[in-house]
Structure formats: C-alpha cells, structure tokens
Structure 1
Amino acid sequence: MAGRFIVFEGGDCSGKDTQIDWLRDNLPADKFTFTKEPGGTAIGQRIRDLLLADSSNNMFSETELLLFSASRAQLVREIIRPELAKEKHLIVNRFFLSTLAYQIYGREKLEQLPLLEKITSLALDGTFPDLYIFIDVPPEVALRRLSDRPDEKNRLDKEDLTFHQRVHQGYLEGLKNLPHIKIDGTKSVEEVREDIINGLIKFFPDDGFEHFFKIAEVN
C-alpha cells in the first residue's frame, strides 16, 4: 500500500507544532516519517537558519521565495520521495502553501504568482501532498499567543497584524483547489487533536489510520 503524503499548515502560533509532536510520539516510527520545511535536510537547515535569522531583515521577498523553494526541492528529493517509496506515511510541517501565503500574499507580491508556480513545479517535479491539514486561527488570536512567548519569535513572526492577516487570506485562497481539512485552532489542544484524528480516519478510510490511533490510545 502506498504511503500517504500529509502536510500540516497554519499561521504562526496555530498550534500545529504541538499536534505534530503528539503524532510523532504516538504513531509507529516504522510506518510514519516526520519532517519539516524549511529544513528537514542538512542543506535545508542551513537555508532555514539564514531565512529566519534577525540578521536577514534586509532580505528581499524574491530571495525568500527562492530560498524556501530551494529547501523544498532538496526535501522532496532527499526525504519525501525515498520515504514514500518505502510505503511509509509522511507528515510534513509546512510545504509550498506557506510560501504562497507568506511570500506572495503576506509580502503583497501577487504579480509573482506565475513565477512561484513555475518554481514550485520544478521543486516538486510531480510530488504533491495527498492532504493538507490547515489549523485555522484568526491572526489576532495568533499574535496574542505569540506575545506570550517573545523569546521564540523569528523575524517573520515579528511582522505586524496586517501582514499576518494577508498571510491568513493567502492560506484560505490557496486551499480552495487543494485536498484539505480545516481545523478550528481556537479549540483546546485536546479538541484540536481529536478533530485531526477524526479527519485523518475519514479522509483515508482504507489506510489503517483508525488502527494506528487505537494503538496510540492503548499506549
């Protein structure tokens, strides 16, 4: 049975990292691989460090777009395709939808959408997610959460409310033509987790997800 390629998306402080951590801790490692972007590979991690560093505040939006896409191209070839070829399920923290939301909508560069589409086609080379799980949190709520943990902010987190509102709109626009589940991220951590579990079981009824989560409950 082919592995499933699942991407978690959401704005800053949406809670997706918390949910992914729980899945990583409770799903069988021989059946699931977890990775992230930017990052996930040695080259990708160096790109991530450069992108998010405060010293990169003068980075142009075009540079951001190209660097995120470069990390993605490396991740697809080094991790995603090989793991799927092993028939493992793959869960990725962010993918090209984040670049659409942040670098196109957030940076107000809609005229660069055709360029992003071409670069993404090269980076992915036909490797597309089976499902996006979007944890939806209003930007106002997300920024309030972010204010409670100032030491964890990167330079993109520090953008103003209007930037994050545009990012949120970019996510909603991008999801329209993609297979996705939208989760209400304002609920409690436990309620969000339950919605994710139920969504995966419903979306992939024949892939054993219900069995995996029953084992997780026992453990």
Structure 2
Amino acid sequence: MRSDVVIVARPNRSPRIECRGGIAARLTAADTVHLVSSVATPLGGDAISMRVVVEAGARLTVRTVAATVALPGAATAESHATWTLEIAGELDLDPEPTIVAATSRHFTTTTLTVHEAGAVRLRERVQIGRTGERQGFWSGSLHADVDSKPLLRHRIELGGGSLADDEIAAPRACVSELHYPRSEVDAAGTTLALAAGGCLTTWQGDRL
C-alpha cells in the first residue's frame, strides 16, 4: 500500500491537508495536526510519503495519536517512510515512537529544507522489537539544509544486521532530536552543536 499525506501551514489560516491511503491527518487545534492510521501500516511492501510545508509567518505542530508499528508483509519484510519538510515558519514535529516488530525492516528518510528565518524541532524515537523481540532492523537518514547550505547529514542503523549489532550488547532503541536555530536544549542524550546553527541530540539504549 502507498500512503501520501500533504500538510501546508499558512499564516492566519487553517492548514491545508491532503491524504491518500492508510494514513489520515486531523486538525486538532488551530496550528496542530494529528496523524491517524486508518489501517495497519506500514507492513512489508508499504511506502509512506509525508510532505510538510510551513510558510513564513505560520506555525505548525505535528503529532501522532499512537505509536507506529512496522510489521513484515507476506512477500517482503521491507517498508519505507519518507518525510519531506519545507520550513519557512515554525515546525514542531514529534510523533510517537516507531516500533519495528518481528522480522520487519523499516527505512526512514527525512529531507529538511529550512530557511534562515525558520525554526524547527524534529524528534524521532525508534524501538526495535516488542517484548522479547530483537531481530527487526531500522535505518534512518536525515538530510538537512538551511536554504542552500548544508546543516546536517545523519544516519543511524539499529537492530539485526546493523553495524552496531552484537550478540553480547547492542542498542535496540534510539532518540534523535534536531533543533534549529536553537543550539542549547534540555534533552536526554548527547548534544552536538552544528556549525551552521542549531544542534542535534542523540541517545541510544535497550528500551525507550
């Protein structure tokens, strides 16, 4: 299944929302949108495309109503989620965790373009496996620019078959939180200031 969501936030107006497939978006406050899965997704073979645009002078908060559970499909265990973010205003994107269950292999790609006057908080939380499960795999990449200047190139792999996988001890959970232009934040983990402004905080462990 392919799911597509487009959210465009404009100043002094309600966000424009377009949805197709297994994910719906609902306006829950003047500048807040919650994402809701109408079917079980992502399953192996599914592709999710999320595009978020915040125009200059607009603010947008994006949340999910529940955790996302990635499951293997009948023909393949691999699923994909792509986020395209174009930010000239203010965006706070903090979905509930993604749980990579059973033998699923889930790939997340985020492309962020923020203008110098824009502001972003982007948090991603991932857990490999439900209780007693450790064999799932997740790969997450973040490509962030400020206008045409590189801000961050970041990639993490977790789970079975990842570079960090180890029979004795290996992380099965992570949290990544990007802020721009803020460079000092109160967040769990290690915070790295970025040369072009903003900061990235990362944490890894066994369970969220």
Q: Which has the higher helix share?
A: 1
Q: Which has the higher strand share?
A: 2
Same-fold call, TM cutoff 0.5:
no
The two structures have a TM-score, normalised by structure 1, of: 0.28
Greater RCO between the two (CA within 8 Å, min separation 6)?
1
